[in-house]
């Protein structure tokens, strides 16, 4: 394990309170407000001053210069990236000496600003052509891409729609024990099956929330982290592999279910750390849709190919299950922070701060993201 960098502080906005305010017609703030709110909480959590930070990464939903201006930060290194790549880039910046203490800041007013993830103005179409290219045939919703993936996967391996329901049920179990979760009412498999289809075969509970919020993390070089923190959360290993060939035609989703990318990443994260899936206590998966979870379970070797349905129903991915997954409730039930809040949950499970949803004795947490075939993983650990 390399342990060249560690997370020493995390923070987030009050997305539960803001959810209610937005539903009441208020606009609590813009994306920069949410980012600044999270940043204030993160430096307080880390016990550092803003002046101790010499690197800054902002999320893709805010302009780098403006966020840095709002936070009033001049730095010697900076970038803009999504949640998981921000962590990888912070580690790389630290390892190359470009920065010693990096702040990662994300803010998004997607709910109050009415951002569309389907339809003619589908967000992300400029980055991923598949999100908008098939509009003439009525295919623009990102959820529909996963519905199509799940149909092909179910046809190949025989997983049922009810089997998939274990994802939503398990994550709501965690959310019910998480005061920071927006949707906290527990659901059963029957509730899942009774919910309406959005794009069949996916139902309401397979879809992520859309809400406002912000997340920030402070990542520091190992020596500094030990000096500043009593409980640094180490970045043990990272890996990445992208499937881009025929992406617009959805081929990597529909024929291999992103598995080759995840297998390549598994070799990187487990190979370099000397760990294997049995060493992982908690799994966190980017879950814009529930379908990500069975695919990741198989792709990373937590169960055999085609066995995720059986794994979820017999071994369990909820609290008390074989592999507690998205213990905070994830995007489906806690908050849709585009992977950023998952990093916080990794840190809190390792610090033992998760209260009723704490997985006792957690030593290693695996985070996986496979957005549009870009498979990336981080393994976090503690001393």
Partner 1 sequence: MQTTKTPPRILGLYDVPMWTFLEQDRQLRLQCCTDCGTWRYPPGPACPDCLSPDSDWKPVSGQGEVVSWVMFHKEYLPEYPAPYNVVAVRLDEGPILISNLIEDPAENVIGKRVKLVPVEMDDGVVLPRFELESA
Which positions touch partner 1 (CB under 8 A)? 118-120, 129, 132-141, 144, 147-149, 151-152, 155, 196-201, 245-246, 248-251, 254-255
- 197 vs 227, which CB is nearer to partner 1? 197
Beta-carbon count within 10 A of 59 CB = 27
Phi and psi (nearest 5°) for 21? -65, -40
Question: What is d(CA 44, CA 10) in angstroms, rounded to the nearest whole number?
Answer: 9
CA torsion angle for 167, 169, 171, 175 (degrees, to 10)?
170
CA distances in angstroms from 3 to 88, 192, 236, 380, 381, listed in the order given:
13, 41, 5, 10, 9
- 222 vs 254, which CB is nearer to partner 1? 254
CB of 118 to partner 1, least distance (A): 4
- 119 vs 355, which CB is nearer to partner 1? 119
Name 17's Cβ contacts closer than 8 Å, sequence gap at least 6.
none
CB of 372 to partner 1, least distance (A): 15
- 60 vs 118, which CB is nearer to partner 1? 118
CB of 288 to partner 1, least distance (A): 16
Report cis status (omega within 30 of 0) of the bond before 112: no
CB of 195 to partner 1, least distance (A): 11
> Does an H or E element contain 267, and which?
helix 259-273
- 199 vs 333, which CB is nearer to partner 1? 199
CB of 147 to partner 1, least distance (A): 4
Give the angle subtended at the CA of 302 by the CAs of 299 and 306, to the nearest 5°. 60
CB of 197 to partner 1, least distance (A): 4
CB of 111 to partner 1, least distance (A): 17
- 1 vs 129, which CB is nearer to partner 1? 129
Name 323's Cβ contacts closer than 8 Å, sequence gap at least 6.
280, 282, 283, 297, 302, 311, 315, 316, 317
Candidates 261, 303, 296; CA nearest to 278 is 303
- 185 vs 196, which CB is nearer to partner 1? 196
């Amino acid at each position: 394990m390399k342990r060249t960098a560690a997370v020493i502080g995390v923070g987030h906005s009050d997305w539960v309170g803001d959810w209610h305010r937005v539903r009441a017609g208020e606009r609590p703030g813009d994306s920069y407000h949410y980012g600044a709110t999270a940043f204030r909480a993160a430096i307080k959590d880390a016990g550092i001053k803003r002046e101790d930070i010499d690197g800054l990464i902002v999320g893709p939903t805010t302009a780098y210069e403006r966020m840095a201006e709002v936070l009033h930060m001049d730095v010697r290194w900076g970038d803009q990236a999504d949640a998981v790549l921000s962590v990888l880039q912070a580690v790389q910046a630290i390892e190359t000496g470009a920065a010693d203490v990096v702040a990662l800041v994300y803010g998004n007013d997607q709910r109050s600003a009415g951002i569309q993830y389907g339809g003619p103005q589908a967000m992300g179409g400029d980055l991923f052509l598949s999100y908008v290219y098939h509009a003439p045939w009525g295919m623009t919703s990102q959820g529909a891409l996963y519905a199509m993936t799940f149909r092909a996967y179910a046809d190949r391996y025989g997983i049922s729609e009810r089997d998939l329901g274990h994802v939503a049920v398990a994550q709501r179990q965690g959310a019910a024990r998480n005061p920071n979760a927006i949707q906290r009412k527990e659901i059963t498999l029957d509730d899942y099956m009774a919910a309406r289809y959005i794009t069949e075969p996916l139902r309401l509970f397979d879809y992520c929330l859309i809400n406002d919020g912000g997340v920030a993390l402070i990542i520091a070089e190992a020596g500094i982290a030990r000096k500043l923190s009593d409980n640094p959360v180490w970045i043990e290993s990272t890996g990445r592999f992208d499937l881009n060939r025929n992406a617009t035609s959805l081929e990597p989703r529909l024929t291999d279910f992103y598995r080759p990318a995840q297998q390549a990443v598994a070799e990187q994260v487990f190979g370099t750390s000397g760990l294997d899936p049995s060493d992982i206590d908690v799994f966190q998966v980017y879950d814009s849709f529930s379908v990500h979870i069975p695919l990741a379970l198989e792709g990373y070797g937590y169960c055999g190919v085609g066995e995720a349905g059986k794994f979820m129903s017999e071994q369990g991915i909820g609290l008390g299950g074989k592999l507690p997954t998205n213990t905070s409730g994830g995007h489906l039930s806690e908050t849709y922070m585009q992977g950023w809040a998952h990093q916080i949950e990794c840190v809190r499970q390792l610090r033992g701060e998760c209260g009723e949803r704490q997985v006792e004795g957690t030593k290693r947490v695996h985070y996986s993201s496979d957005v549009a075939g870009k498979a990336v993983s981080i393994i976090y650990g503690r001393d």
